Amino acid sequence: MASLLTVLVVALGFEIGLMVVTKSTFTLPSEAFWISVVSGFFFIVASLGLYAAFHRGPVRLVAPIIAAYPVLSVGWAVFRGADVSWLQWVAVLLIIAGVSVVAALADHGEEDVAPKGPTILFSLIAAIGFAGTFALGQYAAETAGHMPVTLVTRITAITLLIAGMAIRRLPFWAGKKAMPMLVVMGIADGIALACVLSAGGLPDAQYAAVAASCFGLLTIVLAWAILREQMTPLQWFGCALAFGGIGYLAL
């Protein structure tokens, strides 16, 4: 939790600095403000699910499930009246199929990993949280500047996290050794959220969230290359299905 708090606070500082440099307005209409607050609630839910899932691992199970949140993004777009073709729905089914293959083959007897049931649950919570964050954040950004929306979303998430940590009496300091990496993560997180929410005023804004979900493919490859996590041919096939579907939706 201390690591997550550090990342969120660094990202907040980055976003405030960006608003000052770009001379963005800090004002928000009342409706956009409260939508941004709810977006912040979803964001902290997504972040907690993400950290819990990756803490349990393995990455090859967690990343594809979280990165399947475009299924929910497309569903939200349909609810709001967007026209989704049958090929796009095929891509959605490919994502589900790919995630299922990776999840079903995630456990190996020779590896010391946590039971996959709770890991899948945390991953699903993260996926729902990110879908809600991006959908509501982009919705608010349609009538207001995306930077104030991002700022309110971030502050809400930090406030809720601090409150939860205080109630549970958890430490707030992540440690000096971890700080350089957490600062880099915070800046990257600030850039990511600002970029996705900035699409709120553009046509087909939901596909910004879809494109952002491709982080999972890089995560899996890095875990295989750096952390030496094992990947079977069928799991690579499942990843190819999932991210092939995501790639098509992003076109």
Q: pLDDT at position 122, please?
A: 94
Between 9 and 103, where is the model more confident?
9
Cis peptide before 58 (omega within 30 of 0): yes
Please give the C-alpha separations between residue 29 and each of 20, 115, 141, in angstroms, as whole numbers.
20, 46, 10
Distance CA 87, CA 84 (A): 8
58, 106 contact by CB (below 8 A): yes
3-state SS, residue 214: coil
For the chain, give the percent of residues with pLDDT over 70: 94
For the chain, give the percent of residues with pLDDT over 90: 34
Domain count, the chain: 1
Confidence of residue 217 (pLDDT cuts 50, 70, 90): low
Q: How many helices (H) and strands (E) does the chain have?
A: 11, 0
What residues contact residue 134 under an 8 Å CB cut-off, 6+ apart? 73, 196, 197, 206, 208, 209, 212
Residue that is written with structure tokens 């990110």 in the block:
130
129, 13 contact by CB (below 8 A): no
Confidence of residue 63 (pLDDT cuts 50, 70, 90): confident
CA-only gyration radius of the chain, Å: 18
Q: pLDDT at position 135, please?
A: 87
- Model pLDDT for residues 92-101, shown as the tens digit of each residue: 888 878 877 7
pLDDT above 80: residue 250 = no
In one-letter notation, the amino acid at residue 44 is: I
229, 59 contact by CB (below 8 A): yes
Distance CA 132, CA 4 (A): 19
- Model pLDDT for residues 128-174, shown as the tens digit of each residue: 999 999 889 888 888 777 888 999 999 999 999 999 999 999 999 99
- Model pLDDT for residues 18-61, shown as the tens digit of each residue: 888 888 777 888 899 999 999 999 999 999 998 899 888 787 78
Q: pLDDT at position 111, please?
A: 56
Q: pLDDT at position 107, please?
A: 56
Q: pLDDT at position 112, please?
A: 63
Q: pLDDT at position 124, please?
A: 92
Its domain, for residue 41, covers 2-249
Distance CA 250, CA 75 (A): 15
Distance CA 242, CA 115 (A): 23
Distance CA 7, CA 185 (A): 6
Kindly state the tokens that stand for 139: 């919705």
